[in-house]
Amino acid sequence: MLDMKHIRKIVTIFFLFASSSIFGQQTKYDDIISKFISYIKENDSESISKIVSFPFGRNYPIPDIKNENEFKVRYHEIFDDSLQKIIVESDIRKDWSEMGWRGIMLLNGIVWLDINGKLTCVNYESKYEQDNRIRLKNQEKDLLYASIKDFKEPIFVWETKKFRIRVDKLENDTYRYASWEINKDQNEKPDLILTNGEIVWNGNGGNHDYLFKSGVYEYKCDVIVLGTDVSPPGYLIVTKNDKEILKEKVIKNIRN
């Protein structure tokens, strides 16, 4: 019988052999990746703007990019010298991974393309965007009701048919829920404030919930990152003693 030392050795040799075989093979997405890399190398914002999936999300409160013209104006805010270097110097066989129906990612997901070559996500924040986000965050704080000005990071503001909902991350890394009737503004006193919220991830597609408890009530902000073309950005779901008493889809989403 093989001992664990020999088993580990066999597994390691198999993994190295399999990995070298996989990395050495051409994939059906090589042309897509090569074309994208060439656009970045040439600083061809015109061509890149035509393969972007809009709206193109940025970290809230930085506004999302709505169309090709706006993307071209803000191109260098996203693709700064550092990110361009990472992309241009990337190895198609080693640094890019096919992730099934989720698309193709660079490294640990810093850039995502879909299987048709559309640019769907950039999980990178340039120095310009970092500074801009801080500036916008401070501006936003000035517009809020006094008791909810204090937070670490804004997460989103949602509007449903009846409610305006705001979720923020606090300094202790928990989350706060504030809500108003839809006809009220955020500079007014919230109708409800809940703290000690938590985030719960649903699988590896990006969908997640923000959960808040108040006695027998639970308030869930069900965030839909990966859905269908007709999926809303999310749902507000309220339960009482684990029985659903309210569910409203998000009509407007100012997202993270």
- Does the pTM surpass 0.75? The reply is no
Burial label, 25 (beta-carbon count in 10 A; 0-12, 13-18, 19+): exposed
For 25, 59, 84, 127, the CA distances from 130, given in Å and listed in that order, are: 38, 9, 17, 5
- Per-residue model confidence as pLDDT tens digits over 194-209: 999 999 998 766 789 9
- Per-residue model confidence as pLDDT tens digits over 147-186: 999 999 999 999 999 999 999 999 999 999 999 999 999 9
CA-based nearest residue to 47, from 61, 35, 64:
35
CA-based nearest residue to 255, from 167, 147, 127:
167
